[in-house]
Structure 1
């Protein structure tokens, strides 16, 4: 028996877009919207709808005796779905019947859509209208394909399938594939657009105004979007009903697939436009939430607390109150373990192992732990990963690898780089890649924005690491040789106590070193003076410094510190400068600060320099060329030695033969608070330049300090300003085994 020819379900010759784009029609759509306040939770309904479309795909049709296994979904909670659908089942059924009736009668899709909007749907919100129609379509769609899936294994399904001509449909599955593909694509687009509309309805009104431009634009387009969702559902229903007729004309016709594809394109365009507006709204909300979170955190930090637990929870939110690990994820640490302890927050990026400034901190921390007593302070590494959305598995593994090499705690998972906590650290504590150590007392109050420098200078004497303690330690200091070298070299310390003449010299120019030491020995012999000479390298020593040490010792040029001691020496000097700048807060440099700048200025250069002292005082420092010039003119100042001593006579000779030409430099990291530096030669303010440099430590004799650095350069006479750099590198050996002064770790 030939199939009965069905009436035309859709008028394919009508334009798809003209009706809705007409201003009059859009006004009519708006006029159908008469909500009476009835609301329902659309999310659970959408979960059921999505499950139906996912499980009812034509690809799941079977003609075997085995029923297909239906995938279980964690999202499918029957009790939740029943509660959500409690009062909607009849409404969904009613809408479905209306769609089926009008589509079976060959009604125009636009007329059917408008009828639905004017009827039951008029009382619901725009997102409610879309979800109800999708649910009605999903019900008929699911029933149709459920019959097809169970046709071969269930007698009841087989009988129903016969009435729907399902056996004939199964024979033409391949011929119908273009229609199925177009239908599935349209369903996907409808679901995505509906989810987008639902997101707009869930935006928090406390953070986004209805008058916001993006919100106004979106709200004006949502009625249009809902219209096209409903029209697409009506057209799709007509396609499913059309399968029942299975006429030859229907099988070979391509107009249905074309209309479905055209609708999918239209819905996709609308979704793209709304998605852009949604992204703008979400960005606005995130910004306002971020500002609010920052303000709340700021108030919390400024508030006095009984202990530090509340503020630690704010810094490191965690579901189980175990926001820290010690070495590995298997060793979690509860936030309560830090109650009323002094806590040092160590901010850095993943290059922390290259920070030579951490050597002293590590030595101090391990020394306290080795005594078998509970630490009176704790250190927490806070890794900051950039760019913001780059905390992938590789980064997490890198964090855990570094954490495993550290003796202290690690915040894991780390705070989001865009969180209020990290923003506060960047703004208030001036964190910018280079490691900082923020000190908090037992009540969670910030007592020092960066205690790393004072620990490098005074070690255990820095406890409790507050700014007040740092200022007190500085008040007790004067510019003297023992303060400069500390107890890095105990033999040198004894020479200072014996008030011997001492010469510390450095640089990486071996020709200058040989010339300088040779001339010094000649003059010592001529003047009958004994001077202890020690090679102390240069700031941020690298491989060339190691070669110089070997040469100095092998050829018995003079004494030399080991590489590790040289690194500690220059690290302490660098810390002195930053510590002074931190507590003085931009005031004019005093003598200690200026002398430190002078040493660092010469130490940053590969060229030679030297410091002369007698005991703890009478220090004189200058760069290599000027020193050689003074030595070459020994005859002009030798007669002053009996009266002024060797150092006084040497300085008089220097003043006598001083030349105007000079060129000195000081390279600092871009995060340095230093804004103005006085030239150690002419006492004028040095000019400031910006340097970008990247160097291979093995190839470049005078390596760069950082990718970005502030370079201060002064030039006089015909000298040309030059710039150099220095890089913070890790000390090669363990601090406890490398000669760190004992008092620094006690």
Structure 2
């Protein structure tokens, strides 16, 4: 039969539910009941019992249970997590609250009055979060007793007898009709649990990192009495509804009022939970930020402090439960102690390190150099992955890739890698300027940073870079000279080995226009004949070639026997090494305008990226001249003039004089560097004024499109001021004009 009305023993004051409960006066009354005396208890075991009761109760509370099902549930239950002495003296308090709820509501008191009596009585001496936990425990006890009796009455005679006394058989018969009520009640219980957990989290916030006066904390504290009132009210309502089923007379039926009251309360508590969750999130952000700042400062202090050995650095930045935070060849676990007293090179990169071209070079360097100094230094790869993933997703998504790359490395790998949002990697990005391009940070045997990026110097000097410190890098630059054997170190080809020893001239050139290459090499053959010099030539590409261009030009140069040519990989290595030189110079030495070596590197990189071709003329001695390809072809047509100049000044002297005369105030040059290498105060190779810095967006290897958003850094120099306006400048202009006119006349004569 269907139930039509609530039992008279359960009364709900509808006016109290629907009108005035948000009134400030009511909340003040709730706040006035709060008189904590320091009484406390551990929340965790109590919440554990409460959650287990609600978790093990089926949605309709009275589902008939078989003996086998009971045995299975008992086996699955986590009995070890609940001890009989878990609650201690709280059991009496919980039982007392449950009795108060039953007696008061059975006597006709509405849920609001009962809630206020509990808050001003038994619960008044407890903290806010403990009030709601105790009220929930009382509701859970009634809930569990009712459900357990109804479920076991079919298989247990004792349970059946108790069920008869409680008139449960009548309720069991109507279990399907009561489903909407049970669903509403379960939704309310879920809302109460979630909001209670939120209150407990607030009570455990570390006040060392957030002040009670913080806006989010003030807002939360204003809403806590409201939250406590509605949770206790909901606990009373749910307990009354459960107990009410056992006291029903046969002729009374449950109306929709109970279902409506549960739904209303669930909506109310969920609303409060949403507000508290938002405030909790704000508080946690504040706490995390302060903890992050504190951790960062601790790490800063750690790196700034002198240590007896590097373990005081290695263990904090590579924590591990088993003391083995590294793997080698993707298999063997390696103890952190193997790094004690060693120089450690921390290689930071993303997972695309194989595409950067550095892995092959470093592997050759490591295998050739590490064997003899195995006890003095070690490399550790620290993979840095996408920070948008959480830690679990990181391990699942990138694990195979990390192991694949690690298998190709002869050195150690940090495994698992540090989380992208960890304090250590924040430090790496800020202090060591990591921006997705590989860097190699050198630490000495005491853990002190000796070089924020030793990758440049290793690329340039290889084993000569040991012990990889900035001091060693500066010392190497002090002894370096701008010679051919220095800039082509590691990229030699057979055709150029004998000329150096025989003191012949060497010409290295590059460009992406095959017609310019043909014209240039043809002109050089004429110059060699007129000047009577021996010269070997080799093609050496450009810094940032368009896709597949280098290989095509190399093939054409060799097929047509235009000149010798470096292999494509050697060309790439040459320009990469040259860029590393510039990085290294700017990292270790200041003042590009006064640094001749640095300016020579800038000049070669700038001409290489000009799109007009470039050339370097060198001999076995110290003389070396860098030329812009287009200017060279435009001006060096007067071969007769060339011959006279060479006799007077020598080949390089005549060449340099001609190039100086060809320099024009109307020029536009660019120096293209990766976005992580934006530099300032770079002098133009032509006019020596500071080049302006722009941003380019590199879409592909085909072109560079100007854009102010992001991308590669390009330092450009436009027309210079009219520095030739004085008498000296006028004389220079006259010499330049005469030189070019003589060249044009010679060209016309040769044309006839």
Question: Structure 2 length normalisation: TM-score?
Answer: 0.90
Gaps of 5+ in 1: 719-746
The answer to whether residue 524 in structure 2 is matched with residue 520 in structure 1 is yes
User: How far 1:708 moved relative to its partner?
Assistant: 1.4
C-alpha root-mean-square deviation of aligned residues, in Å? 2.7
3-state DSSP of counterpart to 2:67: coil
- For residues 625 and 483 of structure 1, do their structure 2 counterparts lie closer, same or farther at Cα, with a shift above 3 Å needed? same
User: Aligned runs of 1:641-720 on 2, under 5 Å?
Assistant: 641-672=646-677, 674-695=679-700, 697=701, 700=702, 708-716=711-719
User: How far 1:136 moved relative to its partner?
Assistant: 0.8
Question: Could you list the per-position Cα deviations for residues 461-512 of structure 1 after superposition, in whole angstroms to 9, with x for gaps in the alignment?
Answer: 1011011111111111111111111242154244223221110001211111
Which residue number corresponds to residue 337 of structure 1?
A: 338
User: How far 1:376 moved relative to its partner?
Assistant: 2.6
Q: Distance in 1 between matches of 2:705 and 2:329?
A: 33
Q: Say whether the 8 Å CA contact 2:465–2:473 is kept in structure 1.
A: yes
- For residues 67 and 179 of structure 1, do their structure 2 counterparts lie closer, same or farther at Cα, with a shift above 3 Å needed? farther
Q: Distance in 2 between matches of 1:75 and 1:599?
A: 75
Q: Say whether the 8 Å CA contact 1:670–1:709 is kept in structure 2.
A: yes
Which residue number corresponds to residue 176 of structure 1?
A: 178
The answer to whether residue 405 in structure 2 is matched with residue 402 in structure 1 is yes
Higher relative contact order by CA 8 Å / sep ≥ 6: 1 or 2? 1
Which residue number corresponds to residue 472 of structure 1?
A: 475
Question: Could you list the per-position Cα deviations for residues 581-613 of structure 1 after superposition, in whole angstroms to 9, with x for gaps in the alignment?
Answer: 001256645011000011111223443111111
Q: Mean alpha-carbon deviation: is it higher for 29-38 or for 238-247?
A: 238-247
- For residues 672 and 573 of structure 1, do their structure 2 counterparts lie closer, same or farther at Cα, with a shift above 3 Å needed? same
3-state DSSP of counterpart to 1:120: coil
Q: Say whether the 8 Å CA contact 2:170–2:250 is kept in structure 1.
A: no
User: How far 1:250 moved relative to its partner?
Assistant: 6.5
User: Aligned runs of 1:143-162 on 2, under 5 Å?
Assistant: 143-162=145-164
Q: Distance in 1 between matches of 2:717 and 2:550?
A: 26
Q: Say whether the 8 Å CA contact 2:6–2:253 is kept in structure 1.
A: no
The answer to whether residue 451 in structure 2 is matched with residue 442 in structure 1 is no
User: Aligned runs of 1:201-212 on 2, under 5 Å?
Assistant: 201-212=203-214
The answer to whether residue 633 in structure 2 is matched with residue 628 in structure 1 is yes
Question: Could you list the per-position Cα deviations for residues 508-550 of structure 1 after superposition, in whole angstroms to 9, with x for gaps in the alignment?
Answer: 1111111111121122223322210000111145521011111
The answer to whether residue 231 in structure 2 is matched with residue 229 in structure 1 is yes
Q: Mean alpha-carbon deviation: is it higher for 51-60 or for 89-98?
A: 51-60
Q: Mean alpha-carbon deviation: is it higher for 551-560 or for 72-81?
A: 72-81
Which residue number corresponds to residue 379 of structure 1?
A: 379
User: Aligned runs of 1:31-50 on 2, under 5 Å?
Assistant: 31-50=32-51
The answer to whether residue 57 in structure 2 is matched with residue 53 in structure 1 is no
Question: Could you list the per-position Cα deviations for residues 545-570 of structure 1 after superposition, in whole angstroms to 9, with x for gaps in the alignment?
Answer: 01111110011010001112111111
Which residue number corresponds to residue 492 of structure 2?
A: 489
- For residues 224 and 279 of structure 1, do their structure 2 counterparts lie closer, same or farther at Cα, with a shift above 3 Å needed? same
3-state DSSP of counterpart to 2:164: helix
Which residue number corresponds to residue 353 of structure 1?
A: 354
- For residues 15 and 118 of structure 1, do their structure 2 counterparts lie closer, same or farther at Cα, with a shift above 3 Å needed? closer
Q: Distance in 1 between matches of 2:510 and 2:333?
A: 47
| 1:241 aligned residue (220, 231, 243) | 243
Which residue number corresponds to residue 584 of structure 1?
A: 589
Question: Could you list the per-position Cα deviations for residues 70-99 of structure 1 after superposition, in whole angstroms to 9, with x for gaps in the alignment?
Answer: 547999464764443012111111111111
| 1:272 aligned residue (252, 256, 274) | 274
Q: Distance in 1 between matches of 2:476 and 2:77?
A: 62
User: How far 1:222 moved relative to its partner?
Assistant: 0.9
Question: Could you list the per-position Cα deviations for residues 420-450 of structure 1 after superposition, in whole angstroms to 9, with x for gaps in the alignment?
Answer: 2112212221112111111001111111111
Q: Say whether the 8 Å CA contact 1:352–1:435 is kept in structure 2.
A: yes
User: How far 1:175 moved relative to its partner?
Assistant: 1.4
User: How far 1:408 moved relative to its partner?
Assistant: 1.8
- For residues 249 and 207 of structure 1, do their structure 2 counterparts lie closer, same or farther at Cα, with a shift above 3 Å needed? farther
Which residue number corresponds to residue 463 of structure 1?
A: 466
| 1:111 aligned residue (89, 110, 113) | 113
User: Aligned runs of 1:95-110 on 2, under 5 Å?
Assistant: 95-110=97-112
- For residues 71 and 343 of structure 1, do their structure 2 counterparts lie closer, same or farther at Cα, with a shift above 3 Å needed? farther
Question: Could you list the per-position Cα deviations for residues 321-376 of structure 1 after superposition, in whole angstroms to 9, with x for gaps in the alignment?
Answer: 11112232x421111111111100111222222223444322111223566x7353
Question: Could you list the per-position Cα deviations for residues 48-72 of structure 1 after superposition, in whole angstroms to 9, with x for gaps in the alignment?
Answer: 1011001012357443643424547
Which residue number corresponds to residue 598 of structure 1?
A: 603
3-state DSSP of counterpart to 1:344: strand
Q: Distance in 2 between matches of 1:433 and 1:672?
A: 12
Q: Say whether the 8 Å CA contact 1:349–1:433 is kept in structure 2.
A: yes
Which residue number corresponds to residue 369 of structure 2?
A: 368
Which residue number corresponds to residue 28 of structure 1?
A: 29
- For residues 517 and 687 of structure 1, do their structure 2 counterparts lie closer, same or farther at Cα, with a shift above 3 Å needed? same
User: How far 1:248 moved relative to its partner?
Assistant: 8.3
3-state DSSP of counterpart to 1:68: helix
Q: Say whether the 8 Å CA contact 1:48–1:76 is kept in structure 2.
A: no
3-state DSSP of counterpart to 1:594: helix
Q: Say whether the 8 Å CA contact 1:605–1:702 is kept in structure 2.
A: no
Which residue number corresponds to residue 734 of structure 1?
A: none
3-state DSSP of counterpart to 1:437: strand
Q: Distance in 2 between matches of 1:345 and 1:74?
A: 48
- For residues 607 and 154 of structure 1, do their structure 2 counterparts lie closer, same or farther at Cα, with a shift above 3 Å needed? farther
User: How far 1:682 moved relative to its partner?
Assistant: 1.6
User: How far 1:212 moved relative to its partner?
Assistant: 1.4
User: How far 1:654 moved relative to its partner?
Assistant: 2.8
